Amino acid sequence: MPHSETFSDYLSRRGISRRGFIRFCAVTASALALPAGQARALAVALSAAPRPSVIWLSFQECTGCTESLTRSSEPGIESLILDHLSLDYHHTLQAASGFAAEEARATAIAEHFGEYILIVDGSVPTGEQSAWSTIAGETNLDMLSHAADGAALVLAVGTCAAFGGVPAAAAIQAPALNQSGASSVGDLMLAGLVPNRPLVNVPGCPPVPGVMSGVIAHFLAFGTPPELDDRQRPLAWFAETVHDRCPRLPHFNRGRFARAFDDAGARRGWCLYELGCKGPETHNACPSVKWNLGTSFPMLSGHGCLGCSEPGFWDRALAPDDGRFIGSAFYPDSPPD
Ligand code: SF4
Ligand code: F3S
C-alpha cells in the first residue's frame, strides 16, 4: 500500500460505508470533547489524511501493550485506523530480523524524517551506562534518542513508557531497587537525554486500544495532539477517575462495602474500596471504553482497580498512602499493614 493512499481511499478499498465512517467521527469527536460541528471537520480532515509512517520501539516491557493493540479485533473503524498506519518498524511484529530489521528502521527514519509517529512501549534503562538493555548493540536510550529526533509525535503507550511502570517499581522492603534505572520517555525528555518532541502518554497496563486510535485520529486530522493534562495524558479519556464512572459507585455513596471477595456484599456488587480498590485516585477510560469488545473491565468483573494507569504503579498498589492493600482480604499473605 502506498503512503499516498488517503484514509478515504483505504476505507473504500475495505468496503467501509460512508455512514459508518461518519458515525465513527461523531463518536470520536464526542470522546475528544471537540466543539459542536467539529465532527464534520474531523471527518473531512481524516478522509484526506495520507497513510502515516509509524515506528514502534519496545524496550523494558512485557509485550502486553502490543497484545492489547493486536487484540482490538472489533470490526470498527477504531481498529481500521490502526490498520491504516504504515507500521514501518515494530520490534515484535515485524517479519524482518537482524540487519534487515535495523535497515528498515533506518530507512523509515530517513525517508519520513520529521513526519512519522513514534510509538514507544516499555521503560528505558539508564543504569550502568544504559547497558541493561541493548538491541543490535545499541542501547535503548540511544535508539530512542535517534528515533525521537525525526518524530512529529511521540506516543508513550503503557504505564512503563509513560511513567516507568513495573520495571521502575521498587520492592516495599527495598525501596531503592529500581536497579536498571528504568525511566519514562517524558522524564528522559525533561532530563535532556532524548530530543523534546510533542509527547502523548497513554498509560495503562495495558493501555486501552480505543484511546490510542483516538489520539492518532486527532493527530492525522488536525496535525496536533488532543488536549492533554499535566501528565501529558489526553484529557478526553483521562479527566475522570475510574471511580467517577464505576457501576459500584451508588454502593460507595451509600456506604455498602464488600469485606472479602466472596462475601455476600461482593456477590451483590457492592463497592470494593475496603478491598483496596484504587478507583478514586486512578484516571483511565476503562469504565467507558471497556475491554474485550466492550464486554467488561476490572470492577465489573469483581476485582478492584490496581491503579495501573497512574505514576507509582506497581508500588502504590501494594503500599498505598492510605494503607489499603489491594486484595489483602483475598490474599492473606499480602504485605502487612
Ligand atoms: Fe470506586 Fe472502586 Fe468502589 Fe468502584 S469499586 S465505586 S471504583 S472504590
Ligand atoms: Fe487499570 Fe484500574 Fe482500569 S487497574 S484497567 S485503571 S480499572
Q: Give the Å distance between the CA of 30 and the centre of ligand 2.
A: 22
When pLDDT is cut at 50, 70 and 90, the band that residue 268 belongs to is very high
Whether 87 is in the pocket of ligand 1, judged by its Cβ within 6 Å, is no
What is the reported pLDDT for 201? 97
Q: Spell out the domain ranges in the chain.
A: 51-208+227-237, 240-316
Q: Once rounded to an integer, what is the mean pLDDT over residues 118-129?
A: 92
Q: Do the domains at 51-208+227-237 and 240-316 have one common CATH topology?
A: no
Hey, what's the cell of 265? 456484599
Whether 304 is in the pocket of ligand 1, judged by its Cβ within 6 Å, is yes
Does residue 318 carry a pLDDT above 60? Answer: no
Does residue 91 carry a pLDDT above 80? Answer: no
Question: Which DSSP string do the residues of 304-330 spell out, in sequence order?
Answer: ----TTSTTTTHHHHS-TT-PPTTTTT
**What is the second-level CATH architecture of the domain 240-316?**
Irregular (4.10)
Q: Give the Å distance between the CA of 280 and the centre of ligand 2.
A: 11
Is the distance from CB of 87 to CB of 56 less than 8 angstroms?
yes
Hey, what's the cell of 170? 521498587
Higher pLDDT, 325 or 147: 147
Higher pLDDT, 177 or 133: 133
What is the reported pLDDT for 337? 38
Higher pLDDT, 232 or 31: 232
The dihedral over CA atoms of 152, 120, 299, 288, expressed in degrees to the nearest 10, equals 20
CA-to-CA distance for 21 and 49, rounded, in angstroms? Answer: 14
- Which atom of ligand 1 is least distant from the CA of 249? 6
When pLDDT is cut at 50, 70 and 90, the band that residue 321 belongs to is low
How high is the mean pLDDT of the chain?
83
Does residue 191 carry a pLDDT above 90? Answer: yes
CATH class of residue range 51-208+227-237:
alpha beta
Higher pLDDT, 83 or 150: 150
**Nearest-CA residue for atom 2 of ligand 2:** 305
Q: Give the Å distance between the CA of 207 and the centre of ligand 1.
A: 20
The dihedral of CA 291, 292, 293, 296: what is its sign? negative
Q: Which residue among 244, 273, 297 is best mutated to probe the pocket of ligand 1, counting the most ligand atoms within 8 A of its Cβ?
A: 273
Q: Give the Å distance between the CA of 291 and the centre of ligand 2.
A: 11
Residue 287 CB: number of other CB atoms within 10 A? 21
pTM, rounded to two decimals:
0.87
Residue 194 CB: number of other CB atoms within 10 A? 25
Q: Give the Å distance between the CA of 203 and the centre of ligand 2.
A: 10
Low-confidence winner among 135-149, 187-201, 292-306 (lowest mean pLDDT): 292-306
What is the reported pLDDT for 322? 58
Measured distance between the N- and C-terminal CA atoms of the chain, rounded to whole angstroms? 57
Q: Which of 105, 117, 103, 134 is nearest to 213 (CA)?
A: 117
